[in-house]
Chain A
Amino acid sequence: MADLRSEEEQLEAFKHWWQSNGKSLIAGITIAVAGIGGWKAWETYNTQRAEAASALYQQLTTVIQQPASDQRNKEANALVEKLTGEYDGSIYADYADLFAARIAVEQKDYAAATGYLRHALKHSQVDTIQLVARLRLARVLKAQAKPDEALALLNGVETGSFEAEYDALKGDLLVATGKEEEARAAYNKALTASREQGQSDPTLQMKIDNLGSQGDA
């Protein structure tokens, strides 16, 4: 019983306990404090990195809004290189790829454009960005007269909210490969999906209406 023990005995018991457990207690506290400190430092480091990438990206969006010129493209490409080089895997690097693709298309360098888009498709951690990159890649491939490759890229993809655009593009590619009836099905799916989204694409209906007239023009 505690109150039968003398104060000396209690002190003695505490000393004993301290000798066997004290070191591990101090070590535990130290590790915990260091851990929290380290975690905070890591968070700060990450935030600063993200903010630096964000500032570069902001600059890039400003540059890209200027009218096309060699000067603009040079500045933009330098920013893109920095973002994809130093901040690869961040969403800012993904966007840098998409911007670079836009500039390449403007310069009619479709090979370079597909390069950037493939890079974004492969490296992005964000499925929305992947959906965008994949769609744009297929469009450039179509312009390069590679409809089969483009179709292969689009098939079997979980398209989410991008269903209408994917199906419309599939329709275009199927028309290009001479599969009119399959194209009609794809266009109709696109029409339904875009109506569900509250969008209306007048050219979609025109494309459907136009299907039968290809024959002997």
Chain B
Amino acid sequence: MLQRIREKSQGIIAYTLVGVIALTFALWGVQSLVGAMGNDGSTMAKVEGTSITRPDVERRAQEMLRQVLSNNDQVSPEDINQDMLRQFALNELIQKAVVRHSADQLDMRVSDALVERMIVQNPAFADDQGRFDAELFKQRLRQQGLTPVAYRQQLHEQLLAQQLIGGVAASEFVLPEEAAATQALVTQTRDYQYAVLSAKALADKIELSDQDLDTYYQAHLDRYMAPEHIQVQYVVLDPQDFADDINVTDDQYQQAYERYREQMSKTEQRSAAHILLTFDSPAEREKQMSRLETMRKQLASGEADFADLAQQYSEDPATADKGGELGVIQPGSLDDQFETALDQLKKVGDISPVVETPYGLHLIELTGLNAKPVPPLSDVKSQLRQQIIQQPLKAKMSDRIETLKNLSFSRDQLTQVADEMNLKLSESPILVKGQLTGFWAEDKVAAALFSKEITEDHWISEPVSLKDGRYVAFQSEEYQPRQQQALSEVKDDVRKQLLKERVADQNWARAEQMLDALEQGKQPSLSWQSVDNAARGRSEAPAAVNQQAFKLTLDAQDVARVHLSDGDVALVKLNAVHRPKVSPDSDGVSNFQQALIRRQMQQQQQMMLSQLRQQADVEMSNGAGQP
């Protein structure tokens, strides 16, 4: 009895446990238990406790990549910064999670019925009459790799996000007064004058000492660097060079030609007709065999027609009606015995002996032969020669490569190698790293050129294979690492640069003196040019002058100087501002209203999103910020 109570009480504990688990499920759903299992270390961010994992981000980044690539033909995957893409993806996923969380917090709900209505009303899923088509719906989803359940969930989330964020945009307005004020501001025109101080004459008066040049050179050393470059001697091993030495005998030609003819014959097409008789027993086989023999004799003597016989007697229901015609026989498509027999028929109308296949006994007639004429040997001789010498050429080439390899390893100078192998020794142009052309630009060659063995150790390179089948080996003649250019080499460049800067500086200082003079009420000799009714971004004056004019005040003392090209400087002075009177009721205002509202809607959405994000608990994992 005690034993039983103990068993029972264990039962009670078990029941209680099950009860607790069931209650947990009922109240908080499966998520509560799964979520409690913790995180596997791949979390990149947490939004209100929900993890965004590395695989999530990776998946989204790949989706984005596919979108970008499918929209831009010219873009290749290498052009796209993957890290940046991952940042975008992470950001988007965080944004989505924030919106989801906020919508939930704000008690926003979207019913299944609403989701269903959106699906049914979506024109993408409608048939010709505009009615929802369930098949089309499934098909469209399949194209996107989505299940209906996943799509509904996506749509549900989208609708919530639209309600939350879209509401702020869709309720935005622009008052006509606001649009009118903006229009007045944007379409304002101004009258101003400007005077250009040319830098041209200044250059002649500037004296640059060697000391000046040296100072400038020392201050800009990184501008005067010679790139890494090399010049080499090289030999090229070209298989074509000894292809001519290989002899081809007439016998070899003959054999190759036979093979060639055989190949050609394989491309011919044969059509056939047949008469099939089947049997169930050896006795019946004998009987059918003799029937076919009889038919064969009748056909040979011309008493009967193959098609007629096939129609009357053939037990192949698929072809009997068509006079036994099987059409063009693709090699390998029928039974071996059948095809062998067919191949032995030489001309149209020939009839085979009785052939046995697993289907039964056949008589076969060749009904069509479409063969291309085989060109004579003389026409294909050079083509055959290429084939014949391929093997010996390869063997000879690999011998030569082996020799070159050994020699380039054992000799000190490439000259010796060239002599011993009777190869032509050439000299390369100066090869600049990063600006290689021709076969020097091939990856393998470029890597070998600037390797330590070549540049420092002065070794002969191993033979490097080129894309066109040739081999090259080289040895450095002269090598320069990336290095500082001496002032003497670049003196002219330095002088030009420094002069340009000095001129610009002097001119700028001259402009300041002018400004001071103007301020003191003097009239320095300047040739002022007037511009009337200049609009923003549109005037006959240089762009920098016009921009400056729209920053000036009407204060008579307010004169500004701006940099132009080539060291020139302009002085600008504002004369008048023309502010158009724009009434909120005027016609043009509504255009401005349209443009403004679009921008404001977008801005408000952005601000709302960042406000929600600020308020949500968003945690970035270490390293998620800079992948």
Contact = CB atoms under 8 A, between A and B. Distances in A.
Interface in A172-213: 172, 197, 199, 203, 206-207, 209-210, 212-213
A75 B552 CA distance: 51
B551 A143 contact: no
Q: Range of interface residues on chain A? A: 35 or more
B170 interface: yes
Interface string A128-161: 1101100010011011000000000000000011
Contact of A95 (B171, B173, B186, B576): B171
A108 B579 CA distance: 25
Interface stretch (B129-137, B250-258, B602-610): B602-610
Given A132-B608, A139-B178, A161-B614, A102 B108 contact: no
A65 B108 CA distance: 21
A217 B611 contact: no
With a 10 A CB-CB cut-off, give which of B550, B554, B607, B612 has the most chain A CB atoms: B607
A207 B188 CA distance: 12
A64 interface: yes
Contact of B177 (A55, A101, A143): A143
Interface stretch (B161-169, B457-465, B483-491): B161-169
Q: Is the interface of A mostly helix, strand, loop or mixed?
A: helix
Given A61-B166, A203-B185, A209-B550, A197 B178 contact: no
A213 B553 contact: yes
A215 B554 contact: yes
Contacts of B106: 91, 126
B554 A212 contact: yes
Contact of B611 (A50, A131, A142, A215): A131
A216 interface: yes
B227 to A, nearest CB: 38
A55 B111 contact: yes
B170 A64 contact: yes
B614 A61 contact: no
Nearest to A126: B106
A215 B167 contact: no
Contact of A54 (B109, B182, B603, B615): B109
Q: Range of interface residues on chain B? A: 35 or more
A118 B577 CA distance: 39
With a 10 A CB-CB cut-off, give which of A54, A132, A197, A213 has the most chain B CB atoms: A213
B175 interface: yes
Contact of A55 (B107, B114, B577, B612): B114
A51 B110 contact: yes
A50 B175 contact: no
B407 to A, nearest CB: 64
B2 interface: yes
21 contacts: A36-B27, A50-B108, A51-B114, A61-B163, A91-B107, A95-B163, A101-B173, A105-B173, A108-B176, A128-B168, A129-B168, A132-B608, A161-B610, A172-B181, A197-B610, A203-B185, A203-B186, A209-B550, A209-B551, A212-B552, A217-B554
Interface of B: 1-2, 23, 26-27, 106-111, 113-114, 159, 162-164, 166-168, 170-173, 175-178, 181-182, 185-186, 188, 536, 550-555, 558, 574, 576-577, 579, 603-604, 606-608, 610-612, 614-615
Interface of A: 3, 7, 36, 46-47, 50-51, 54-55, 57-58, 61, 64-65, 90-92, 95, 98-99, 101-102, 105-106, 108, 126-129, 131-132, 136, 139-140, 142-143, 160-162, 164-165, 172, 197, 199, 203, 206-207, 209-210, 212-213, 215-217
